[in-house]
Amino acid sequence: MGKYPKFLMEHFQNPRNVGEISDPDGVGTVGNASCGDIMQMFIKVSGDKIVKAKFKTFGCGAAIATSSILTERIIGATLDEALKISEETSKEVLSQLPKEKIPCFTLATEALKLAIEEF
């Protein structure tokens, strides 16, 4: 586990925003072709702001930790801001993840993009 930075480990051990939104405004579902795992991201929008974001995944620890970080950061953001946050978080997280775990993080950003598109 030493290959993961502290903040990722903390989110893995105490993931935020896990679960489902029963009446979502957008849902994105993505599969990781390399491992067969699935990620679902739910958003609730008021005006143009994301007021709730939750995720469910059959993915690994890296997928859980990065989805937790992403959902925590986008709550309260506008849809445009959320896409920017997603890009910035990608740069930050991807530089610290082992190469083989990059598709696991991409699951969260892709699912978020689809959820926003559905809205």
> Distances in Å between the alpha carbon of 37 and those of 14, 17, 51?
20, 19, 27
* CA distance linking residue 115 with residue 119, whole number of Å: 6
Among 43, 59, 71, 112, binds ligand FES (CB under 6 A): 59
Is there a contact between 90 and 21 (Cβ–Cβ < 8 Å)? no
Residue 60 annotated in active site: no
28 touches ligand FES (CB under 6 A): no
Contacts of ligand FES in 29-58 (CB under 6 A) = 32, 35, 37
* CA distance linking residue 69 with residue 46, whole number of Å: 21
Site string for ligand FES, 64-103 (x = CB under 6 A): ----------------------------------------
- Indicate the residue among 9 and 60 with the shorter CB distance to ligand FES: 60
Residue ranges in contact with ligand FES by CB under 6 A: 32, 35, 37, 59-60, 62-63, 104, 107
Active site residues: 35, 104
